[in-house]
Structure 1
Amino acid sequence: MNNKLLIASALAAGLALTQGADAAEAGRDYISIVGSSTVYPFATVVAEQFGKGGKFKTPKVEATGTGGGIKLFCGGVGVQYPDIANASRAMKKTEFETCQKAGVKDIVEVKIGYDGIVAAQSKKSKDKLVELTRKELYLALAKRVPDPAKPDGDALVENPYKTWNEINPKLPKTKIEVLGPPPTSGTRDAFAELALEGGCAQIPWIKAKKETDDAWFKNVCMTVREDGAYIEAGENDNLIVQKLEANPTAVGVFGYSFLDQNSDKLLAAPVDGVAPSYEHIASGKYAISRPLFFYVKKAHAGMIPGIEAYVTEFTSEKAFGEEGYLADKGLIPLPEAERKHVAAAAKKMTPMTMK
């Protein structure tokens, strides 16, 4: 008798779980979006515009960081998992493989535009970094750098630089204090690759080792110091902006769109002689610039209402075109031919491939 009761209870519990899952699937009538804090303001504007139509609910957008967002996105298929992941860098092969293993097979990659990464200070600062090079950024922020006591040698030491003028006498005699994103951020990944690795590669003997030991090269060039000179300020770039007002001598690392929206408060240093402007990022002249993306779980397109319509809104000329409302928020649009290609592929929900 007890066994029968146990079996009946198990069956009832299983039925309840199934019914609960069905209810959850039926109940989620909004799009769930996670990921990059850089793409977050763009996705939020599109979500608001999309929700105004009245046909679909306004999507829920969360800034979890690119890496964190893709991890959630790749968790599986079902209403408990996000539908879209915003990213301030391309999805990595390892992330794509994680998605595949979890059953997230058909992923649609949508490239939305470009953004630059800036090194900015408050306009209140009396000791501004008038100009920087990628090599100076590497020497300021890398964990290991060439031994300054042996300029002709090939030895590395723990980063000894405490002030900017120790790297270059023309720079201010202020403490190196940089507020930037954490390792889960696509902005951090892109900054490490474009700025730090780019500057590191200008040191001949380190660059020479890239051919024989790429892993060593990337470790030396992209590993950020952990002695307090670089401060992880979280995924919220607006918080970095606020902290710069409170600490004018500090430098903040974040996307160009946040500089554009706070141009009355902040000033960014030119990098390698080129200022981070709309035109310079669009033309590729500004060295620390990168493309922005979002990724769509195609399996959710028939499960969650409005996904195809949201993608269409985001890739419309009125949104991501040269005169679109996202350009007003600081997004650097793709060239016209590329925009048309992206919009067509997105409309067909063409899955990406990974070599």
Structure 2
Amino acid sequence: MSQLFTPTQAGPLRLANRIVIAPMCEYSADAGCATDWHMIHLGHLALSGAALLFVEATAVEPDGRITPGDLGLWSDETEAALGRVVTAMRRYSPIKLGIQLGHAGRKASSHAPWDGGQLVPSTEGGWQGWAPSALPHNESEPAPQALDAAGLARVRDAFVDSARRALRLGFDAIELHAAHGYLMHQFLSPLANRRDDAYGGSLENRMRFPLEVFQALRDVVPASVALGVRVSATDWVEGGWDLEQTTVFAEALKARGCDFIDVSSGGVSPQQKIPVAPNYQVPFAAEIKRRVGMPTIAVGLITEAAQAEEIVASGQADMVALARGMLYDPRWPWHAAAQLGGQVDAPRQYWRSQPREHKALFGETRFGQR
């Protein structure tokens, strides 16, 4: 039996298989509100046969957006817009739904990638960037504003408010984004955090604010909803955040009731040197799983069915998450199941598409046709 198509558990969340759709920024929201694009895009992925679908990185306040087109969940308007999409997915798909809550920090106020991705200046509608320290992501950019005590409280409360909105919308899982050089990662990394107060310096101090935010989320997210964290296991820069520190952070998260950890890497510095190749991040997930014992998601250039099967079957991770591969092939789980001998959920409207040579792909489907 294919291990990729066996059930698994992430805290309270039981998943039908080990395939996760990673959160992927679409830069297509309108003032933080989900649009018809999200209805089409997420609705399409909800029919993929994966077990869990994460909505893209969702900003907890307007200043926390990466780009003007980022999805948000900070107001009644943004909640209602996303709720429309969630309701449609729930009506037609059994897939579990997760949301990744984040804050871009000093990487905020940027153009969308297809517009160059550079910082949007205030003269062109850009907004204030916030960070642990007044250090820009690129030397050519203006410095962000360092968060003071009131700013830290504002951001923490914004995460809690967004989590409450996500709970009202009925999400099955919430993921705190502490990776890819965004605000929580900026606090963790000594490359971005040069504070000399209780939130900077030592590893314990650099972890303090992300752990405070996680604890604030844990206090409001019920035990019936999975709460996890996405991390960058290394900055890929000498003297930066690394696997050893990530392991300590993961252990602290586990002690506070973290249900799963999603292991990525990089993003905090343009000086990073990443040896990109298939499975290049999987060893980080494997080591964290071995040391910490938390349900773990592996990501990064996982594109082939046999590749994903090996990751799960060998115990390197409990789940695999696909992003670009799922955009390229939104029925990736169907094709993987056909190749590996697994089964997937498919809407009855598509049952007739089941190939004759894979007649058990959708289970025991039986119906006549006139």
Please tell me the TM-score bracket, short chain as reference.
under 0.3
Higher Rg: 1
TM-score (normalizing by structure 1): 0.24
TM-score (normalizing by structure 2): 0.24
The higher relative CO (CA closer than 8 Å, separation ≥ 6) is in 1
